[in-house]
Structure formats: structure tokens, C-alpha cells
Amino acid sequence: MILVLESNITEHQKDRIKNMLSDEKCITREIMDAGRNVIGIIGKPATSLDEFKQMEGIADAVRVTTAHKLASREFKSEDTKVKIGNVVVGGDRIVIVAGPCAVESHEQAMTIAKEVKKYGAVLFRGGAYKPRSSPYSFQGLEEEGLKILADVREQTGLGVVTEITSVSQADLMMKYVDVVQIGARNMQNFELLKCVGRMDKPVVLKRGLAATIQEWLMSAEYIMAGGNNNVILCERGIRTFEPYTRNTLDLSAIPVLKKLTHLPIIIDPSHATGMREKVSPMARAAVAAGADALMIEVHNNPDQALSDGPQSLYPEQFGQLTRDLYVIAPVVGKQLDFDYLKKSEIINNMEAKDSKTAAFIGEYGAYSHKASLGYFGEEIRPVPMKTFKDIFQAVQTGHCQYGVVPLENSLSGSIHENFDLLQEYDLKIIGEITIRVKHALIAHKNVSKNEIKKILAPPPAFSQCKNYLDQYPEIEQVPVKATSSAVRYVKDSDDKYTAAIGSTMAAKIFDMNILEESIEDNPRNYTRFAIIAKEIKGHKKVNKTSIIFSTGNQPGALYEVMKVFSEYQINLVKLESRPMLGKPWEYMFYADLEADIETPELAPAMEMLREKSENLRILGRY
């Protein structure tokens, strides 16, 4: 049962409810869910549902019908995000956990850790205690292995994940590691589940070799009932009649779990397939199916590995896999961030006076809001603004540390206003992110599509949905500034005949009904956002430079600048002209270069660009 508390409930009223439930031998868990303050009840209270509803401070009482209570989507509708140091599992960014099956030596672990970090891993896995089928196989380095893992974290900054096989190891795990793993063989070791439930460490719970999803969720319930809500479910393959692969990876478990539970999901394709060449295809499929994280075994010399060498990727293969995932992730609304840890380091090193906020246009649920979450995660607070100029002004004045502004869409082209604002304000582009735009038609609940008389959306959204809207010429199209603003307006208006075009995220935030999804003309609908700031902080890998420049009004002037890029083999990925502010019929050129223009090797090119341009300014290196 869950009790939804009134927003104005007093602490005295809340304590009275909890004390009453304690007297009735019930366990309580208080959480915030979708803006509601909720008390979850485990046990059978003597007080009835109707009696709870009549109590002061309680807005509603709802029975949880599933056997798993705390892990149930009925108990908590919002996705749980498990924080591991600076890493968040369950957010918009895909988390990659990588490393060897077993820690074999300090040199081996450190070498692999540096390699997997270089290619995008943010957590390091490695077994110190190894439950093996044969008593004669390598059983792990035990505490010495844990010490090596702790040193890996110290030297690389990667959080470490390892398996706990016995209750007696709990103190060592608390001392040395960041995440404990319950292996497949121990999924129903109930004393061990109770033990990790009492530990203040996130838990990766692997599915048993022949466990049903319900049995797996009940094991998670054991951990959560002990007080530990930081559980990550790991699908690592189940045993079927098919002998070709080591196990059968049940990818259908991902959408099933997304419906049944709020807990994040990690996929282990290494143990699922047991074959190196099958790991990458299944990892790519897992991300496409909606996994929050991946656990990949990587070894620098798998032929000599003491455990599971045949299923371990070489570091270079792992690097190719993460590049593939970087491309796939935005298709399903996720991001693979190669600068994940570096960004976190920069943010954590900010001064106390820094705002740790990012300005975006529209309301919560806008694509710009999603871009902010995809780039920064949970560490920077998104702040909505009414106009693009407001964003630039907020960053310029220091009211917000960062701004998130759209530059171009793959269907409707450039957002010219923001190119002009980049010219006007002395700000830096410090990064970029590309978001897939999937438009939905959103209206009030219990309203059908044929009742709609008016649709609100920004002009680019109308343009991107033209083919769909052409089917309904009688519906009036009303332009607004942002998609989320449209959804907010419809929500506040109580006009059941008006709909909005927006994101499914906005529909969820404003508790609105989705009449139809994916109404954009082309599924390859992506928007590229720039991250702007007053100054560049920290040192990240640079592979792109944005510049603006102007040339003299004479034949061949632009050609002379283009020759510089050609001579120095600099790839130009964007070139756009914009009118110069206050100078009619004169133009600035905006260019994106696939190079770090400030490297010593390109210093001569930079000098030539300055000679051949009347004005030249570097907007950002990122």
C-alpha cells in the first residue's frame, strides 16, 4: 500500500502516521515520486484503505497489487537513478562498466583500466572472489584483489565493481569498493541479499541462470526491504536448450522490466554469449532495446586470461564498440558521453559562487531540457528561459553557468537567431550534443484526435510535421516559442479542443495524454545543440573548433580562406553566412572545423587565416 501525502502535511501529522504503522508492525519507506510525497507500507496494517483516506495529511491511499512492492512501478512511477560517485545509472547517459572477469595482478588491472577509460568506460569491473564451476579453477586474489581495485580507483578515477560471494566479505567490500555485485548463482542466497540490503553500497543484482523475471524482482525486494534502494538489475543471459552460446541473452526482459519496475537495467553480453565476436552485436542491441548500462569484459591478453578469456574483448574492439554505441544511443533518446568523468571533475571543482545551472528555452520537458540532461546529467540544474537572448544574457551576467542553445536541425535547417547571438555576445562554445527529435501530438486526457480544433507548436515543429498536419487542413496552427511552452499552455488552458506538438517527456511532466507519437515527417530528425559558457574550464579532448570570420568585399576573398583549410587538410563540416550586426550587406561566416585549430601543428594555418580575414574569432574548441 502507498499513502500519498498532502503537500501541506505537517511533520507532526507525518510522525503520527509513521508511529501508528510501526505499532501495527509495518515497515515504512518515504520517497518523493513525480512531485508527490509518498509513504510506502510493507506489511498488513490493521487500518483499512478507507480509514487511511480519511486521516489528516493523507491525500490518497492506493493498494500495490504486485508481489514486489518497493521495486514496483506502482510504488514509484519515476525511474530510479543510482548514483555511484559522479556516475548516475538510469539517467539520459549510457553507463559503461568494463574490465576483466578477474583481477589477476596489479599491472594487468591497471593496464586494462587505463584502456577502457580511454574508450569511454566510467566504472571498472573485476572479480576478487570468483565462484567457479570447478574447484580447481582460479578462485580470485581475494583481499589482495580488492586492494588492487581500490588502487585502480585512486589512480584512474574509475569507480570499481566487484562480486560479493559471502556475508563474511561485507566489511572488506565496505572498505575497498564502490559497488557490490550479487552473482547469478547467488540471486536467491537470501542471507546474502539481506546482508547487502543493510550495506550502504549500490548493488548490481544479476539474474539467476534459470530465474523468472518475477523471482528476480523478488530478490531485489529482499535488498530494498533491508533499506538499500540502490539496486541495478543485471540481465546476463539465462540457460535454455540452445547450446551454441554460453547462455541466451533475454533482451525482451528490458521492456518488460521497464513496465514492471523503476529500477535501472544493465546488460552483460559477455557472460550471456560467452563468445567474443557475439559481444558487440548484443551490446548494440541492448542499447537499442533501452538498457541503461552495459557491463563488458575486456582483457589486454585474453588468450592468457585466468578466467573467461574467450568472451573478453581486446581493448581496441571495446573502443570500436563504444564508437558504435555513441551513434546508436541518440536514436533511443540516450547519450554515450566520452567526457563523462571529465565533466564531473570540472563541475565538482567549481567555486562555491558558481551557479551550477544551465539555461534552456521553453519549459521543463523541452528538447533543450533533454539536451541539458544528456550533456550534464543530474549535476547541473536546468533553468527555463523565455527567449534565446535571455539564455545568452543569463550566461553573460553569470546568472547561469551554462546555456544550451539549438543551432541546427537536420530537417528544418539552422536556427539563425542563435548564430547572430553567438556573434553578438562574447561567449564560448564548450561542447555540443545531438538529440533525436520525436514529436508527439499531446492533449488533455479523455480527448480524441477528431475533437482537436487547434494545434500549438513553434514554427520549426510545424515544418518538421508538415506531412502529418497536411492530413488535417481544418485544424488551426498557432505558433509559439517552444514545444514545451505549447504543452504548458494547453495544460493551463483547460481547452480540450486544443493540442500541442511536443516531446513525450513534456507530456509526462505535465500529466497530459499522447494522442499520437512520432508524427515528424522523417525519423532522421535530429537537433544539434551548443553548450555555451563565459569561459572554458578544465581540459577536455578537443576535436572540433567553431570560428566566425569576415573577408574583404573583393573577388576570391572567401576562396583564399577556403584554400587555407584545404592546404592544411582541415575538414570543414559547416559553413554559413550571416549579416554583420549594424553593417548592411556585409557578412560574417560561421564555420565548424574538424580540428583543434590551436595546436602547434596548425599555428601556421591560424596565422594565414588571420592574414586573409578582416575579423576572426574562435567561438569554441570542444
List residues with catalytic annotation. Answer: 527, 529
Contact between 327 and 94 under an 8 Å Cβ cutoff? The reply is no
Helix (H, G, I), strand (E, B) or coil at 608: helix
Distance from C-alpha of 36 to C-alpha of 607, rounded to nearest angstrom: 59
Dihedral (Cα; 23, 26, 27, 29), 10-degree rounding? -90
Q: How many CB atoms lie within 10 A of CB 482?
A: 29
Q: Which residues pair with 457 in a beta bridge?
A: 479
Name the grid cell of 503. Answer: 516531446
Distance of alpha carbon 177 from alpha carbon 267, whole angstroms: 21
Q: Which long-range contacts (CB under 8 A, 24 or more apart) does 490-497 make?
A: 490/442, 490/443, 490/444, 490/456, 491/444, 494/444, 495/444, 495/454, 496/443, 496/444, 496/447, 496/451, 497/447, 497/451, 497/452, 497/453, 497/454
Half-sphere exposure of 263 (CA within 13 A, CB side): 33
The C-alpha atoms of residue 314 and residue 324 are separated, in whole angstroms, by 16
* Contact by Cβ (8 Å): 297, 270: yes
By the 10 Å C-beta count (0-12 exposed, 13-18 middle, 19+ buried), 178 is classed as buried
Q: Measure the CA–CA gap between 221 and 68, rounded to whole angstroms.
A: 6
96 contacts: CB under 8 Å, gap ≥ 6? 116, 120, 121, 122, 123, 293, 294, 296, 322, 325, 336
Give the single-character DSSP code of 414: E
Q: Which residues contact 306 (CB under 8 A, 6 or more apart)?
A: 102, 104, 138
CA triple 293-299-303, angle to 5 deg: 135
- Best CA proximity match to 149, nearest among 181, 184, 118, 119: 181
Q: What is the DSSP letter of 377?
A: T
Residue (of 333, 573, 526) closest to 411 by Cα position: 526
